[in-house]
Structure 1
Amino acid sequence: MNNVKRISIQKTIGKGYADFWNFKGRYRVCKGSRASKKSKTTAINFISKLMQHPNANLLVIRKTFRTLKDSCFAELNWAITKLGVQQYWDAKESPLELTYKPTGQKIYFRGLDDPLKVTSITVKVGYLCWMWIEEAYEILNEADFDILDESIRGEVPEGLYKQVTLTFNPWNEKHWIKKRFFDAKEDIDILAKTTNYLCNEFLDDADKRVFERMKRDNPRRYQVAGLGDWGIVDGLVFENWEELVFDKNEILKRSNTKTAFGLDFGYTNDPTAFFCGIVDQEAKEIYVFDEIYKEGMSNKIIFEEVERKGYKKEKIRADSAEPKSIDDLWNLGMKNIKRARKGPDSINNGIQTIQDYKIIIHPSCVNFLTEITNYTWAQDKFGKKMNKPIDDFNHMMDAMRYALEDIQGDVFSFD
């Protein structure tokens, strides 16, 4: 390119990220609340840097590959448009990648659910020197991060540098990221920072009122989702669980196993949550093998997504608080959907029954993993535990309870 395009980074992304933008050490780690600009700032930063460094290539990672298209890939395309450089970039969805046309540099996208594809990348131009791990909180096993970290290796020419960037919401203070990066003593190779919505000058009054209501109505969530503080997790509702790769078809070959599907409705502020599990009543195990978890889903979109995944004909228990939505889904073709049975103490009774089981969670079920690691017993104003769970991180948890109502027999009788 002969033309030089000059932009004002401060006008484009605002304030609060100068140190993040300019840091060249090995680890650049940013935890932040909702609307803190962290993902959009990171996307603009990488597009800008790649166009300045003709030998650099970027690898973008999330725990599951299927989540990349609607998150990082979309954010990077947004950044390209925001910078007005669309004519220089080529976007492909199969395979998912972005190419800087003047040099052939690439942005690669990979999920940890296919580790061989992560470790086998060979770049055609320059060096694979940068990595962006979005929603890094989803990576619960530090050893998985170490494998990723080791993939950014080797010498790079003068003027270039190797760097791993992690961005995430800080739901749980016990996560390995806190100890490794935020609790580390002074280290020139680590920048660990916290951002929140207060540094986002582009929010309007309606956006700000969302956080004001959160501060008033849900102070615990406000500390994390509003201010970006670490979530303090004490008194988990479900403690007997593990993350494990398994083949659902092999599990279903066992005797005394049944599938279980549950649906919790959401829309604007809360996600719709769809739980897919297998119950082994003899082994006292619940296997969580798939999920749907998304905001803004109309009933038609819910039906289409359930149908696409192949679960339309399954017996599904759904939140009885929305009978109209259940009727809509039945009319669309989900003929085995039924209302969940709710009654006095149905939440606690369901929890107590599930607590007798070990819950095995497939790594692809990242939203279920996030909820179960944050679903705790509520506390009163004196900090004393109450005999009810918090009204938060409960969408997949509720969907699981509904699903398990459909398992017949004394073991799963929640009436």
Structure 2
Amino acid sequence: MRHILYPEDYKPQVNRGKKIVSLPEVVGRGYGTFWNWKGRYRAVKGSRASKKSKTTALWFITNMMKYPDANTLVVRKTYRTLKDSCFTELKWAIHRLGVDAFWDIKESPLEMTYKPTGQKIYFRGLDDPLKVTSITVDQGCLCWMWIEEAYEISSEDDFNMLDESIRGAVPEGSDLFKQITLTFNPWNEHHWLKKRFFDNPDDETLALTTNYMCNEWLDAADRKVFETMKKQNPRRYRVAGLGDWGIVDGLVYENWKEEAFEIISKADFLDLDEAEQKAKNYVFKESVKSAFGLDFGYTNDPAALFVGFIDTKDKKIYVYDEMYAAGLSNERIANNIQSMGYGKERIIADSAEPKSIDQLKGLGLKVKGAEKGKDSVNHGIQFIQDYEIIIHPRCVNFLTEISNYTWDKDKLGNKLNRPIDDFNHLMDAMRYALEKFIAKGGRWMY
């Protein structure tokens, strides 16, 4: 299969004439049905390194250039996560196809334009729904949508709103089609995505499962990561390795809900008019205390910053913000925390990394090691279980972890009195953050 990517009537000075690209050589194996599907939905669950995001990015760039009336909307739950995910993947696809000269790429706001026709790729977050539903295109129609990390969208109603935004007639006589592509890791079998797309798919739905074994570009070291995971963490391997649905049983925390809120002083609240006061869920600074916790990561595990507030009177924990990224040096951790506006806050970090704590102090952060003690994990869990946990929708990684953080089991399937060693980076950071509020035997625990 060969495809002409450069149009004959658009020959910029940097590259005259046409360029022929062999798609099988660029895209690789395992996605033939995905590539050719023209039904309304493509739902792709897969493991890490399964090529699902990169293949999707290649498909959109290739087909935007093939169909002159097509425009694409790229969506994630929160806008701020798009730049380092879908936007970067689409830039990579443009480079890999060798068509940089034909695309105008802007970062403020995120947007990509195909120069020969004016077609656009738009980027939006569900945290600003009005911007999702109010897109008007200059050329052609808005016919395609890519929802990356669709697992983050916990409400099927939010998806229905997105589905309805792909509307309007395609040009008469055109072979253009409307389609929504969802890509995600299938952490929880109880997610609405399973029932909607995988349990009984209709003839407009392609439900596809992929894994790392179809990625011919992984080297021996990459594959060894999965083989090690298979031996040491079979539960995670089923999902992150094979792309199977995660089986969630025995959640550690069940007393939580996702709800938008804003932290505000009572004085500022009283300055708002009545409509503004009712428009949002406000939490008064005077009734809560802030709490910051940091769990260190390394190559494969993320560094995780918990930003929250606790109301000890009404027994509520508010999860307000997060940092969650792998491969960060201590300098980058410090830079990220400062850029988020938390550089002057007191942070309780994992005391197992005293060297990292000292380095962060040297970089200007107020960091203290957590005081660990016997059964401190379970004591902290018991304390938090007495509270209602309210999670801001932008904390997508916290939502993923808390909905998968379960009690461990022995080989016979019996529950143990300890949580699994997985989905615990922000869970641990939360316990560190709340250390001074958790008392046991006269000393503070977490």
Short-chain TM bin: over 0.9
Contact 1:59/1:132 (8 A) holds in 2: yes
Q: Secondary structure at the residue paired with 1:43?
A: helix
Unaligned runs of 5+ residues in structure 1 are none
Contact 1:258/1:407 (8 A) holds in 2: no
Q: 1:196 aligned to 205, 211, 224, which one?
A: 211
One-letter amino acid matched to 1:376: T
The CA deviation string for residues 93-125 of structure 1, in whole angstroms up to 9 with x for no partner, is 011100000000000000001101000100011
- In the other structure, the counterpart of 1:138 is 152
Distance 1:337 1:206 in 2: 35
Distance 2:33 2:394 in 1: 33
Q: Secondary structure at the residue paired with 1:225?
A: helix
Q: 2:381 aligned to 338, 351, 358, which one?
A: 351
Distance 2:73 2:411 in 1: 46
Distance 2:304 2:319 in 1: 13
The CA deviation string for residues 154-180 of structure 1, in whole angstroms up to 9 with x for no partner, is 211221100000000010000000000
The CA deviation string for residues 24-82 of structure 1, in whole angstroms up to 9 with x for no partner, is 00001100000000000000000000000000000000000001011100000000000
Contact 2:44/2:207 (8 A) holds in 1: yes
Please state how far the C-alpha of 1:308 moved relative to its aligned partner: 1.0
Q: 1:75 aligned to 74, 82, 89, which one?
A: 89
Please state how far the C-alpha of 1:9 moved relative to its aligned partner: 1.7
Please state how far the C-alpha of 1:253 moved relative to its aligned partner: 2.3
- In the other structure, the counterpart of 1:307 is 338
- In the other structure, the counterpart of 2:255 is 240
Aligned residue runs from structure 1 range 325-344, under 5 A = 325-334=356-365, 336-344=366-374
Please state how far the C-alpha of 1:412 moved relative to its aligned partner: 9.5
Q: Secondary structure at the residue paired with 2:261?
A: coil
Distance 2:65 2:436 in 1: 55
The CA deviation string for residues 223-258 of structure 1, in whole angstroms up to 9 with x for no partner, is 000000000000000000000010022655254410
Contact 2:320/2:391 (8 A) holds in 1: yes
Distance 2:285 2:433 in 1: 20
Q: 2:199 aligned to 183, 190, 193, which one?
A: 183
Q: Are positions 1:364 and 2:394 aligned together?
A: yes
Which structure has the bigger radius of gyration? 2
Q: Are positions 1:277 and 2:293 aligned together?
A: no
Distance 2:151 2:438 in 1: 36
- In the other structure, the counterpart of 1:151 is 165
Aligned residue runs from structure 1 range 15-414, under 5 A = 15-157=29-171, 158-185=174-201, 187-249=202-264, 253=284, 255-334=286-365, 336-407=366-437, 413-414=444-445
Distance 2:359 2:436 in 1: 20
Distance 1:409 1:237 in 2: 20
Q: Secondary structure at the residue paired with 2:298?
A: coil
The CA deviation string for residues 186-207 of structure 1, in whole angstroms up to 9 with x for no partner, is x110000000001111111111
Q: Identify which range, 404-413 or 123-132, moves more after superposition.
A: 404-413
- In the other structure, the counterpart of 1:7 is 21
Q: CA RMSD in A?
A: 1.4
Q: Secondary structure at the residue paired with 2:437?
A: coil
Contact 2:124/2:131 (8 A) holds in 1: yes
Contact 1:374/1:393 (8 A) holds in 2: yes
Distance 1:256 1:58 in 2: 45
The CA deviation string for residues 279-319 of structure 1, in whole angstroms up to 9 with x for no partner, is 00111000001000001111111111111111111111000
Q: How many residues get paired?
A: 413
- In the other structure, the counterpart of 2:270 is none
Contact 2:264/2:285 (8 A) holds in 1: no
One-letter amino acid matched to 1:196: N
One-letter amino acid matched to 2:250: G
Q: Secondary structure at the residue paired with 1:406?
A: helix
Contact 2:438/2:445 (8 A) holds in 1: no
Please state how far the C-alpha of 1:134 moved relative to its aligned partner: 0.2
One-letter amino acid matched to 1:238: Y
Normalising by structure 2, report the TM-score. Answer: 0.91
Please state how far the C-alpha of 1:91 moved relative to its aligned partner: 0.3
Distance 1:249 1:17 in 2: 49
Distance 1:177 1:253 in 2: 36
Distance 1:324 1:195 in 2: 40
Contact 2:74/2:122 (8 A) holds in 1: yes
Distance 1:254 1:88 in 2: 51
Contact 2:436/2:445 (8 A) holds in 1: no
Q: Which has the higher contact order (CA 8 A, sep 6+)?
A: 1
Contact 2:261/2:283 (8 A) holds in 1: no
Distance 1:141 1:132 in 2: 17
Contact 1:353/1:412 (8 A) holds in 2: no
Q: Secondary structure at the residue paired with 2:434?
A: helix
Q: Secondary structure at the residue paired with 1:392?
A: coil
Normalising by structure 1, report the TM-score. Answer: 0.97
One-letter amino acid matched to 2:179: Q
The CA deviation string for residues 372-406 of structure 1, in whole angstroms up to 9 with x for no partner, is 00000000000011000000000000000000003
